[in-house]
Amino acid sequence: MKITIIGTGYVGLVTGVGLAELGHTVYCVDTIKEKIDFLQKGQAPFYEPDLEKLLKKNIKSKRLMFSVSLAEVINKTDFLFICVGTPPQANGSADLSYVYAVAEQIKDLANNSKIVVVKSTVPVGTNAKVESILAKNIRQRPTRLWREKAKFSVVSCPEFLREGRAIYDFFHSDRLVVGSTNEKSAKAVADLFGKVKAQKVITTRETAELIKYASNAFLATKISFINEIANLCDKVKADVTEVALGMGLDKRINPYFLKAGIGYGGSCFPKDVKALRQISGGNGYDFKLLKAVIEVNGKQRKIFMEKIKKVLGNLNNKKIGLLGLAFKDNTDDIRESAAIDLAKYLVKAGAMVTAYDAKATLNAKKVLGNKINFVASAYEAVKNVDAIIIATEWPEFIKLDWLQIKKLMKQPIIFDGKNLLDPEQMKKNKFNYYSVGR
């Protein structure tokens, strides 16, 4: 099939590359010319494992093409995927202006029937609003024949891609959710992903829209819950990793997202939890649990910062080695990153911070500027420091020569915000080791 993807961010580019790999002809459109120029050369604008490899492969096979002009490609394809951003507004609700702007463009440019697939994460009722915008196109057509040719069917198909594992998730998804008022259109969209072995959930658009938010909010709730348990573990001298193991063995609970630390971040969980709370409030329901989830996540970073201050005392002129800047491993994304918050807190307190991250340094520099020192290796980051903070769960940090690192440090203090290292081993290595709930 021939498909147009509108938007080449995480969702749009991964979806476009994935669909091309499945054998479809895909046109990816974005308004930023510099980004399109890079993509046409096979260069991804962000780091995602295996993305660039599949990008180059499908450009070479001519199944994947890029353009800055929607008008140029829209009438070459039958499926239009809306994959633009829905950033949070000041009150936590999703900004849908980009989605609606794309719908207006489609309305004006399409001259034959299209299935419009909304892949962006959007509140309940958005797909219906997109359909109403597109319906204006049909009413404005001058002849009945032209009106019949320009029919639109709007389908909700939310994404479930984890940053750092998005390519894997595309081809190994747990489920494919398709919401539509038209059974034929729903089947057509599901068939696009036919080679992906995933449970197909065909439902209404409103239900599909809510499944996405409910999923992310529930996972965020699990993280906040285990972080509360971790804080209790610190009080009663229990080990949260063993508590999580014992809990996770219960099939009703499972072990996923029961990893304690300094809170969730990234572009999805914070935004989607707040948006779902706004959706609830806007429909007259006080979703109290989500309020607690948000509060716990914000508090978790403050608790960790207080632990650092309690151990080190006055942070003025203290030298700190910060390992990790991305909000999680295998990505260069720093949105809502706990590491960035920690860096800002330390600088404000007068500390001198030297940081290392495998992929996120460039993005972090855009936010932190020259407030901290950026280096090219973990070993450089820990030279002559008063303490180390592990703020991202990069696997390479586990494999570091910690005895060598101890020699490089001024004093052997580690604050492990991701519970990445083995406390017993750190004790044997004679580190003063502080983690979360252990």
How far is the C-alpha of 6 from the C-alpha of 101, rounded, in Å?
A: 11
DSSP labels, 288-306: HHHHHHHHHHHHHHHHHHH
Q: Is 288 helix (H, G, I), strand (E, B) or coil?
A: helix
Side-chain half-sphere CA neighbours of 434 within 13 A: 21
Contact status, residue 364 vs residue 355, Cβ threshold 8 Å: yes
Residues constituting the chain: 438
Residues whose CB is less than 8 angstroms from the CB of residue 194 and which lie 6 or more positions away in sequence, other chains included: none
Contact status, residue 205 vs residue 127, Cβ threshold 8 Å: yes
Contact status, residue 8 vs residue 18, Cβ threshold 8 Å: no
233 is catalytic: no
Buried b (16+ CB within 10 A) or exposed e, 59-70: beeebbbbbeeb
How far is the C-alpha of 166 from the C-alpha of 172, rounded, in Å?
A: 10
Residues whose CB is less than 8 angstroms from the CB of residue 434 and which lie 6 or more positions away in sequence, other chains included: 307, 311, 413, 414, 415, 416
Catalytic residues: 268
